C-alpha cells in the first residue's frame, strides 16, 4: 500500500487550566441535570393545588391518577387534560385520599416504582462529584509538575531545526540579488567540499551579515544557502534569546551552538540580530545587563570555533505629530517630535542621525527589584534624561495602535514598553497584540492590594521657587540701546537720519536729545500704574494666570469676562490682582447681558500675562515654569482654568474645554505627571450656534480635558487611591500606508522616552548601524553582504519567480511590468502579483491580465483608488494640472515617455502622471535634472495659463522641484557658484547611516547666494514650462478634455492625441556628448 495515501488522524487534548475548569463546570451542570431528570422525570401539564386536585377526583372528573413519589399526575376524562400536584412528603397516598373522603378503590390509581432510580441517584450523587474533583486536581498537579520541569528547560534554545535535505528553497527561488548569491555560493561550496579549502589552509567562514532594506530577500537568501548546501539549518530570532531569568540568554546561545556542532556542518540563522547585538555600554543597566551577557556569549562562541566545526552564522521608527516633553537651556517645552527633530536638519539633508548637546526629554528612572527580581526592570518615576542624537527617515507604512485612552502611530520595528508580572518588557509594535498593557502616566502598581497600592508619577522639587521679571528685559535693552545711540550721535547725524535708523519719529529723537522724556518701554513714568520690577511666583499668581487663560484677553489692556452668576470668582480675581500687582480695575462693564467684564488699562500687565500664557484663545498655553513647580502651584492654575472653562457634574466628574490644543495637551501631561489620570478628546462645535443671542458662530475644532470622580483634583475622598484606574490596554493594531518622515530620539538614558497626547513610554528604535564593532570584525562576521533594491533586470527575474503557479494571459509583458515597478522590493513585487490575483478572482476571471497587474502596482505604490466625489471645477483643475505635466514631459528631449495619466484619487493625491524610466540610470546629467524640474512645474504652469489662478495641488511638485534645484547648487556643483560642496560635512558608517555631521558653516552672504541660484534654476524651468504649454495650448485642452471624460489615459491613447515622442539623431548625439562631458 502506498504510505502517502494513508491518512493518519490524531486526537489531542488541549489540557490547559482554563479548559480543565470549563469542562469540569460543564460536567457538574450536566450531572445536575441528569440527576434532576432521574428524580423528577418529565413534567408536562398544568400544576394545580392539592385541594383542587382532590375535589376533581371526588367529583369524578379524573380518569387516572399516577403516583411518582410525592408527585401526583392526574389524567382527566375530557380532552385528555393532564394536571400535576404534590402531596406532603412522607404522607401515604391512601391517607391523603381517605382524609378527603375518597375511596381508593373508586378511582384508577397507579403507583410508579422509583426504587431503582433512587439507588442510581444516591450512587451518582456521591461518586461522580468525587470523581470529577479527583480528575480536576490530577490535571492541576500535572500542570504544576510541567511548569516545575520547564524551569530546567529555560536554558534550552528555541531554535527551529530544518533537517538536512528538508529545505526546498534553493538559489533558483531567489532572484534580483546576483552579487549576494555569488558571495554566498562560495560559502555553500565550502560546506560541500571543505577539504578543497582546508588543503590550502583556508578556515571556515565564521559568519555572514546580510544587510539591506526590508523585503529584499535576506531571510529567503539564508534559507536558500541551507537548501543548496544540504546541511542542517537552525533559525532563531534575536528577541527569543531574552528571558526574565538572568543568564538564560547566554545559556540559550551555548545550547544553540552545541546543537549546531552536533549536526555539523550546519547553519545558524539569527533574524533581527540587532535585538541582542547592539553596541555595548548603552543598555538599561549600564554595561552589565542581560542583553550584553547574551552578546558576550555569542562573541565567545563564534570566535572559539576551530576550522573543523563547520558552523556558519547568518544574521539579518513614531510619526511627526507625536508630542514629547523637551528641556533645553533650562526651558521646558511640549512640542511634536517632528518639529523638534526637523529643527536640527538643514534643507540639504533629508534623513539620518545628528548628535545634539545639552538636550533632555522626559524619560524614566528605574526601580530596583528585590532578591530574585533584582535584574528585572521596574518603573520608579518619570524624569528628564539626556538625548545623544536625533534621527529621522522616510517610510511608506506605519502601524496605528489604538489603546484605552488614545492612539499612537509608529513603525513596526519601533518598540514600546509593556507591563508584565515581572516588570517592564520591550515589544516591537508589529508584534503587539490586543490586551497588551502599555506604560503610561500615572503608573499604578499593586492594584488589587489596598495596603501596597501605589501611584508613581513625576517627582517635583518641593522647595522650588522662582521670581519673574515683570517687564520685558530684552525689549528694555533694545530701547535702551536706541536711546543711547540717539544721544551719542547728536552731533554726527541729523535728527531725521537718526530717526530713520532707530525707527521712530524725528520729534521723538528731538525730545530724547533734549532730555525730554525717555522711550516708553523703559520709562516707568509713562504708565498709569506703578508695578514692581520682579514678581515672585506663588500659588495665587498661578490661579490668576489660570483665570487669564480661561477668561482673559490682552492687547493694550487686560479684559476678564465672567458670567454674572460667578460673583465669587470676580471678587477672587480682583483681590488677587490687588494683592499681587497692587492695582484696582479701571472699569467694570456690564454691557453684554449675563456677562461682566473686569478691565485693567495696564499694558505692562497685558504684556506680562501674554508672555507667559499666550495671546488669543487659540494660542493660550500653560506657563512653562509649571513643568517644574510643585503640585500646589499647578493645582491653583488648574483651578483658575477650570472655574473659567470647566464644569463638574453631581457625581464629581469634571471637564475643561478650550479651542487651544496646546493648552489641553499641556494640562493633560501635567495632570498625569502629578498622578491625576485624565483623558483628552476633541469635537466640532455646531455651525450657526449663538451665545446670548449674539451673532451666528462658525464651526470650529475644540478639545476637552476630563477626569473621573476618583481623580477629581478639587475634592479628596476615599476613592482617591483605591479607585481602579483604566490602564492603557491595546484595543486594536492596524497597518496603514504613510508617506513621510518618522522620528526617534537616540541614546536616551534607559533607552526610553514618553510620547503621545497621553504620555506613553516608548523605546528606542532598533538600528542596524548600532551593532557592536566586536561582532562585526573579521573572525566573527567575515563578510558583510549588502542587498540593494532590484534594478529592471532583477525585477524581471523576480516577477518570473513569483509568477509560478499563477495563470496569466499570453500578452502579459514582464519587461513592461518591470519598467512600471521602479522602486519595488522583492516583497513588494510578490504582494503586487498577489493583489492582481485577488483582483482577477473578484472580477470572476480565470486568468490574470495586464489590467489587473497595472491596477495592483498602482495600489501598492500609491494606494487604492478612491471614488472621491469632486465638483466639476475641481475635476477640471486636476485634469489640466496632470495634462500640464504630461505635455511638458513629452516636449522635453531628455525625459522618458509618459506611461499613464489619471485623475483618479489615490492615497493623498487627486491624480498622477507616471513617467517610468526606460532604463536604469547610474548618473544624472544637469540637462535631465533641469528637465525634471520643468516637468514638475508643468502642473502649476497649466493652472496659471488656463485659470489664471494658483491652487494648493502643486505643493508636492514645488517641494520636489526645490529639493532637486537645491541639490544641484549645494551637492552637485551645477550652478554659477562652481563645483563646491556647500552642504554639511557628514561621516557615514559602513551600514550607510550618518554617524557624525558638522552643521552648515555657510555665511549669511553665501546662504543668500545659494537661495538666489536655487530660485534662478526654478524660475527658468517654470518659464520654460509656460512657453511649452502656450505653444501647445490646443494639445493641452485636448488631453485635459479626454481626461475629464475617461479619467485615465494610457500611453497609446496619449500619443494618439499629441503624437509619438521622438528624439532626433542630432539631439541623441548631443545628449551622448553631454553625458560624456
pLDDT digits (tens, 9 = 90+) for 226-253: 677 666 667 666 555 555 455 566 666 6
Per-residue confidence (pLDDT) for residue 326, from 0 to 100: 92
pLDDT tens for residues 916-931?
A: 777 767 678 888 899 9
Cβ atoms 1039, 1054 nearer than 8 A: yes
Q: Is 930 helix (H, G, I), strand (E, B) or coil?
A: helix
Distance CA 156, CA 922 (A): 49
> What is the domain partition of the chain in residue ranges?
44-112, 160-316+773-786, 325-457+728-755, 459-471+531-674, 472-526, 792-862, 867-1076
Q: Name the β-bridge partners of 162.
A: 233
Q: How confident is the model at residue 297 (pLDDT cuts 50, 70, 90)?
A: low
pLDDT tens for residues 599-637?
A: 998 888 888 899 899 988 888 999 999 999 999 999 999
pLDDT tens for residues 29-76?
A: 666 666 555 555 555 667 888 788 888 787 777 888 888 777 888 888
| pLDDT of 696 strictly over 80 | no
Asked whether this chain's domains 160-316+773-786 and 325-457+728-755 adopt the same fold, the reply is no
Range of lowest pLDDT (82-91, 138-147, 505-514): 138-147
User: What are the phi and psi torsion angles at 241 (to 5°)?
Assistant: -75, -25
Question: Is 88 an active-site residue?
Answer: no
What's the CATH fold of domain 792-862? Helicase, Ruva Protein; domain 3 (1.10.8)
User: 383: buried, middle or exposed (CB in 10 Å: 19+, 13-18, 0-12)?
Assistant: middle
Mean pLDDT, residues 368-394: 81
Among residues 1022, 1045, 1027, which one has the least CA distance to residue 901? 1045
Q: How confident is the model at residue 314 (pLDDT cuts 50, 70, 90)?
A: very low
Strands 587-589 and 595-600: antiparallel
CATH of 459-471+531-674, one of 3.40.50.720, 3.10.28.10, 2.60.120.1270, 3.60.15.10: 3.10.28.10
Q: How far is CA 649 from CA 61, 672, 685, in A?
A: 68, 21, 21
Q: How confident is the model at residue 456 (pLDDT cuts 50, 70, 90)?
A: confident
| pLDDT of 158 strictly over 60 | no
DSSP string, 90-132: T--HHHHHHHTT--GGGS-EEE---HHHHHHHHHHHHHHHHHH
Per-residue confidence (pLDDT) for residue 739, from 0 to 100: 83
Distance CA 440, CA 680 (A): 14
Phi-psi region of 741 (alpha: psi -120 to 50; beta: other; left: phi over 0): beta
Distance CA 805, CA 793 (A): 21
Q: How many residues does the chain have?
A: 1077
Q: 867-1076, which class in CATH?
A: mainly alpha
Please name the residue ranges forming H helices in 996-1064. 1004-1031, 1033-1046, 1051-1058
pLDDT tens for residues 630-678?
A: 999 999 999 999 998 888 888 788 899 998 999 999 999 999 999 888 8
Q: What is the DSSP letter of 768?
A: G
Query: Which residues, 6+ apart, have CB-to-CB distance to 1008 below 8 Å?
Result: none
Distance CA 961, CA 959 (A): 6
pLDDT tens for residues 806-837?
A: 888 888 888 888 877 877 888 888 888 888 88
Specify which of 19-28, 72-81, 927-936 reaches the highest per-range mean pLDDT.
927-936
Average of per-residue pLDDT values in the chain: 76
Per-residue confidence (pLDDT) for residue 536, from 0 to 100: 92
Strand blocks (E) in 835-970: 865-866, 900-902, 905-906, 912-914
Among residues 658, 36, 745, which one has the least CA distance to residue 344? 745
pLDDT tens for residues 502-557?
A: 778 888 888 777 777 667 666 655 556 677 778 899 999 999 999 999 999 888 88
CATH of 160-316+773-786, one of 3.40.50.300, 3.30.1330.60, 3.60.15.10, 3.30.70.580: 3.40.50.300
Catalytic residue among 272, 551, 882, 931: 882
Among residues 654, 588, 663, which one has the least CA distance to residue 626? 663
The CATH number assigned to the domain with range 44-112 reads 3.30.720.210
Among residues 264, 180, 352, 259, which one has the least CA distance to residue 769? 352
The CATH number assigned to the domain with range 325-457+728-755 reads 2.170.16.10
Query: Which residues, 6+ apart, have CB-to-CB distance to 258 below 8 Å?
Result: none
What is the percent of the chain with per-residue pLDDT over 90, rounded to a whole number?
13
Amino acid at each position: 500500500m502506498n504510505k502517502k495515501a494513508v491518512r493518519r488522524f490524531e486526537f489531542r487534548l488541549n489540557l490547559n487550566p482554563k479548559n480543565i475548569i470549563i469542562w469540569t463546570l460543564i460536567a457538574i451542570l450536566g450531572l445536575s441535570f441528569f440527576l434532576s431528570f432521574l428524580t423528577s422525570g418529565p413534567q408536562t401539564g398544568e400544576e394545580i393545588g392539592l385541594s383542587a386536585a382532590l375535589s376533581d377526583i371526588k367529583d369524578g372528573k379524573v380518569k387516572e391518577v399516577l403516583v411518582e413519589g410525592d408527585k401526583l399526575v392526574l389524567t382527566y376524562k375530557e380532552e385528555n387534560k393532564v394536571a400535576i400536584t404534590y402531596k406532603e412528603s412522607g404522607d401515604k397516598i391512601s391517607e391523603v385520599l381517605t382524609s378527603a373522603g375518597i375511596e381508593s378503590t373508586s378511582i384508577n390509581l397507579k403507583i410508579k416504582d422509583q426504587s431503582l432510580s433512587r439507588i442510581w441517584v444516591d450512587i451518582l450523587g456521591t461518586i461522580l462529584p468525587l470523581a470529577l474533583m479527583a480528575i480536576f486536581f490530577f490535571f492541576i498537579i500535572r500542570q504544576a509538575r510541567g511548569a516545575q520541569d520547564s524551569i530546567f528547560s529555560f536554558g534550552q534554545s528555541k531554535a527551529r531545526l530544518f533537517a538536512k535535505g528538508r529545505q526546498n528553497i534553493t538559489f533558483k527561488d531567489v532572484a534580483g540579488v546576483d552579487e549576494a548569491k555569488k558571495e554566498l555560493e562560495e560559502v555553500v561550496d565550502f560546506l560541500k567540499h571543505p577539504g578543497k579549502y582546508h588543503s590550502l589552509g583556508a578556515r571556515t567562514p565564521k559568519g555572514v551579515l546580510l544587510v539591506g532594506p526590508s523585503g529584499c530577500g535576506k531571510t529567503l537568501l539564508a534559507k536558500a544557502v541551507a537548501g543548496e548546501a544540504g546541511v542542517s539549518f537552525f533559525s532563531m530570532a534575536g528577541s527569543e534569546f531574552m528571558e526574565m531569568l538572568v543568564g538564560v540568554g547566554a545559556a540559550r546561545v551555548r545550547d544553540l551552538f552545541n546543537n549546531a556542532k552536533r549536526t555539523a556542518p550546519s547553519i545558524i540563522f539569527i533574524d533581527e540580530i540587532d535585538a541582542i547585538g547592539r553596541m555595548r555600554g548603552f543598555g538599561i543597566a549600564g554595561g552589565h545587563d542581560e542583553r550584553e551577557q547574551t552578546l558576550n556569549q555569542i562573541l565567545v562562541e563564534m570566535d572559539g570555533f576551530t576550522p573543523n566545526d563547520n558552523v556558519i552564522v547568518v544574521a539579518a521608527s513614531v510619526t511627526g505629530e507625536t508630542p514629547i516633553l523637551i528641556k533645553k537651556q533650562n526651558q521646558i517645552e511640549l512640542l511634536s517630535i517632528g518639529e523638534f527633530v526637523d529643527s536640527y536638519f538643514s534643507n540639504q539633508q533629508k534623513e539620518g542621525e545628528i548628535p545634539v548637546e545639552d538636550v533632555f526629554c522626559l524619560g524614566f528612572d528605574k526601580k530596583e527589584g528585590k532578591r530574585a527580581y533584582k535584574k528585572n526592570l521596574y518603573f520608579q518615576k518619570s524624569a528628564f534624561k539626556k538625548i545623544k542624537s536625533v534621527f529621522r527617515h522616510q517610510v511608506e507604512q506605519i502601524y496605528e495602535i489604538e489603546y484605552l485612552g488614545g492612539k499612537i502611530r509608529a513603525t513596526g520595528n519601533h518598540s514600546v514598553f509593556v507591563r508584565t508580572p515581572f516588570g517592564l518588557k520591550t515589544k516591537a509594535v508589529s508584534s503587539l497584540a490586543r490586551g497588551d498593557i502599555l506604560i503610561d502616566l500615572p503608573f499604578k502598581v499593586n492594584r488589587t492590594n489596598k495596603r501596597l497600592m501605589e501611584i508613581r508619577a513625576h517627582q517635583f522639587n518641593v522647595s522650588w521657587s522662582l521670581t519673574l521679571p515683570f517687564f520685558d528685559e530684552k525689549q528694555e535693552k533694545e530701547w535702551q540701546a536706541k536711546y543711547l545711540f540717539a544721544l551719542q550721535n547728536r552731533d554726527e547725524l541729523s535728527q531725521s537720519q537718526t530717526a530713520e535708523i532707530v525707527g521712530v519719529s524725528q520729534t521723538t529723537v528731538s525730545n530724547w536729545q533734549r532730555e525730554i522724556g525717555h522711550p516708553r518701554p523703559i520709562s516707568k513714568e509713562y504708565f498709569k500704574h506703578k508695578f514692581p520690577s520682579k514678581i515672585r511666583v506663588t500659588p495665587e499668581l498661578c490661579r490668576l494666570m489660570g483665570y487669564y487663560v480661561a477668561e482673559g484677553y490682552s492687547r493694550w489692556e487686560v479684559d476678564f469676562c465672567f458670567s454674572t452668576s460667578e460673583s465669587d470668582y470676580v471678587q477672587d480675581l480682583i483681590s488677587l490682582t490687588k494683592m499681587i500687582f497692587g492695582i484696582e480695575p479701571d472699569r467694570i462693564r456690564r454691557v453684554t447681558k449675563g456677562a461682566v467684564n473686569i478691565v485693567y488699562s495696564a499694558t505692562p500687565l497685558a504684556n506680562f500675562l501674554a508672555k507667559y500664557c499666550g495671546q488669543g484663545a487659540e494660542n493660550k498655553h500653560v506657563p512653562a515654569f509649571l513643568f517644574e513647580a510643585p503640585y500646589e502651584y499647578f493645582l491653583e492654575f488648574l483651578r483658575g482654568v477650570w472655574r473659567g472653562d470647566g464644569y463638574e457634574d453631581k457625581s464629581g466628574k469634571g471637564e475643561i474645554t478650550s479651542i487651544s490644543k496646546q493648552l489641553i495637551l499641556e494640562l493633560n501631561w501635567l495632570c498625569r505627571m502629578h498622578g491625576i489620570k485624565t483623558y483628552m478628546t476633541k469635537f466640532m462645535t455646531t455651525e450657526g450656534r449663538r451665545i446670548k443671542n449674539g451673532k451666528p458662530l462658525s464651526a470650529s475644532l475644540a478639545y476637552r480635558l476630563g477626569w473621573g470622580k476618583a481623580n477629581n483634583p478639587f475634592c479628596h475622598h476615599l476613592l482617591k487611591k483605591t479607585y481602579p484606574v483604566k490602564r492603557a490596554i491595546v484595543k486594536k493594531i492596524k497597518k496603514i500606508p504613510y508617506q513621510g518622515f518618522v522620528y526617534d530620539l537616540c541614546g536616551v538614558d534607559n533607552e526610553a522616552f514618553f510620547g503621545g497626547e497621553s504620555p506613553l513610554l516608548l523605546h528606542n528604535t532598533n538600528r542596524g548601524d548600532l551593532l557592536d564593532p566586536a561582532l562585526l570584525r573579521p573572525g566573527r562576521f567575515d563578510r558583510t553582504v549588502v542587498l540593494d533594491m532590484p534594478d529592471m533586470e532583477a525585477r524581471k527575474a523576480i516577477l518570473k519567480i513569483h509568477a509560478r503557479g499563477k495563470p496569466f494571459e499570453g500578452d502579459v509583458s514582464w519587461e513592461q511590468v518591470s519598467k512600471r515597478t521602479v522602486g519595488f522590493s522583492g516583497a513588494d513585487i510578490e504582494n503586487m502579483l498577489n493583489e492582481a490575483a485577488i483582483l482577477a478572482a473578484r472580477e470572476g476571471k480565470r486568468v490574470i491580465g495586464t489590467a489587473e497587474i497595472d491596477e495592483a502596482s498602482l495600489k501598492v505604490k500609491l494606494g487604492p483608488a478612491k471614488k472621491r466625489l469632486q465638483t466639476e471645477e475641481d475635476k477640471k483643475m486636476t485634469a489640466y494640472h496632470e495634462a500640464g505635466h504630461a505635455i511638458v514631459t513629452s516636449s522635453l528631449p531628455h525625459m522618458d515617455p509618459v506611461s499613464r495619466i489619471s485623475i483618479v484619487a489615490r492615497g493623498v493625491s487627486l491624480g498622477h502622471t507616471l513617467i517610468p524610466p526606460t532604463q536604469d540610470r547610474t548618473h544624472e546629467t544637469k540637462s535631465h535634472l533641469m528637465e525634471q524640474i520643468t516637468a514638475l512645474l508643468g502642473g502649476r504652469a497649466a493652472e496659471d495659463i488656463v485659470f489664471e489662478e494658483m491652487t494648493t495641488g502643486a505643493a508636492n511638485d514645488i517641494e520636489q522641484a526645490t529639493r532637486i534645484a537645491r541639490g544641484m547648487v549645494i551637492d552637485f556643483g551645477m550652478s554659477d557658484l562652481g563645483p563646491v560642496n556647500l552642504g554639511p560635512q557628514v561621516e557615514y558608517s559602513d551600514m550607510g547611516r550618518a554617524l557624525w555631521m558638522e552643521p552648515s558653516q555657510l555665511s549669511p552672504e553665501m546662504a543668500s547666494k545659494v537661495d538666489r541660484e536655487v530660485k534662478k534654476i526654478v524660475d527658468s524651468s517654470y518659464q520654460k514650462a509656460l512657453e511649452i504649454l502656450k505653444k501647445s495650448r490646443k494639445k493641452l485642452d485636448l488631453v485635459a478634455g479626454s481626461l475629464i471624460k475617461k479619467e485615465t489615459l494610457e500611453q497609446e491613447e496619449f500619443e494618439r492625441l499629441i503624437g509619438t515622442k521622438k528624439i532626433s539623431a542630432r539631439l541623441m548625439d548631443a545628449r551622448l556628448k553631454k553625458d560624456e562631458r
